[in-house]
Structure formats: structure tokens, C-alpha cells
Amino acid sequence: MLLTLRAMMLVTLALYSGPARGLSVESRQAMQAELRKLLAPAGIEIVWKDSVARQPGEDFELIAVSSFEGSCSPSEVVPASITTRLADTSISNGRVLPFFRVDCTRVIQMLGHSPDPQFLGRALARVIAHELYHIIVGTTEHQETGVAKAAFSARDLTDARFEFDNFSISRMRPSVVASASDADTSDTAGR
């Protein structure tokens, strides 16, 4: 009975992801594990999908599409970024769309020279989780603490523990998401 109730409370989010140029296998695995950990308290199970291999008939409760800009390789020399955002979510006519972009170059610059692959994966997952929060809840609003706050420090991206606050988790829960209809009307969402 408990397993049945738990299964009914889970929502599957398919994350169609474009290539992350230069991202190591170790960083990718750390990113996927951290993202699963961050979304689990909200009852969201993530399924990673290749954006070019989408199959007809695939059906998921939630869908998001990501792209990675720049290089995700810490060893690649890149010019200083003029952007201050680590990522952003697409907005149209005040509505949050299920598309977001991660600036790998900017994330690596924020972490410093040659970040550990585990730290890079963790940092990318936290940036992705933040953008998914906007998409799942349908808001451009931010919280004061946790993964849903407006700006991250390098420490936020790499510390062993950095999570969504309880209010943000409650907003992402399947029953809340299904009944949410009050999207924010701001023009941008991101770090």
C-alpha cells in the first residue's frame, strides 16, 4: 500500500538535453545523481533523454528541454564571459516555457580554474534544478534561500549540502503543480 501511494505521488519529468560539449563522463554522472537527489523530495523523478533521439509516442507528465552553451570542459581555455547568468529559462508573454539554457563556460569560470569533475557535475545540477523550478512551478519568482534563490555563490554550487527550501519543495509537488494556474508575468528567469 505504501509503495502504491508513493508511486502515485511521483511525477516523471523528461529532460531532453542537447550535447554538453566537453563534459566528462564523471561530471555527467555527478550531475545526474545530484539532480535526482534535489528533485526527489518534491516527488519528481527525472528521465534524461537525448534531444535528437526523441521517439514518437513518448509521454511524460512534465517535459523540459535544455541546451548547453560554451564549453563544459574545465581544461578548455575560454575568454571571460560578459554574462553574469549561469542559466536562463525562456519566457513568452509572461509565461514560463519548458526551455532553458545553461552557460557551461560561466559555471566553470565561477568555480575557478580546473574544478574537480564531481564539483562541476554538482554545480551544473544545481543550476539545472533552479531552472526546472521555474518551469515546474511556472513562475519567475525566487525564494530567499536554497536552490530557488535568485543568485548562487561558488560555495552554493559546490558545498556538500545545498537544497531547495521546504516552501519551494511544496510548490513543486505533483498535486500543487497540477492545480497551479497563477504564472508570474516577469520577463526573465535565471541566475
What does the block give as the cell for 78?
575560454
pLDDT of residue 189: 52
* Strand spans (E) along 70-146: 87-92, 95-103
Q: Per DSSP, which regions of the chain are E strands?
A: 11-17, 44-50, 62-69, 87-92, 95-103, 189-190
Which residue is listed with cell 542559466? 87
pLDDT at site 185? 42
User: What integer pLDDT is reported at residue 67 of this predicted model?
Assistant: 94
Domain parsing of the chain, residue ranges: 12-190
Task: Report the pLDDT value the prediction gives residue 7, as an integer from 0 to 100.
Answer: 44
- pLDDT for 61 equals 87
Report pLDDT for 2.
41
Q: What are phi and psi of 91, to 5 degrees?
A: -130, 135
Q: What is the pLDDT of residue 34?
A: 97
Other beta carbons less than 10 A from residue 93's beta carbon: 8
The predicted model scores a pTM of: 0.85
Q: Is 127 exposed, middle or buried (0-12, 13-18, 19+ CB in 10 A)?
A: buried
Sheet holding 62-69, edge to edge: 44-50, 11-17, 62-69, 95-103, 87-92, 189-190
CATH classification number, 12-190, choose in 3.30.230.10, 3.40.390.10, 3.40.50.740, 3.90.1150.10: 3.40.390.10
Q: pLDDT of the chain along its 191 residues, tens only?
A: 344 344 446 899 999 998 999 999 999 999 999 999 999 999 999 999 987 766 777 778 899 999 999 889 988 756 665 667 899 999 999 999 999 999 999 999 899 877 899 999 999 999 999 999 999 999 999 999 999 999 999 999 999 999 999 999 999 997 655 545 444 444 445 55
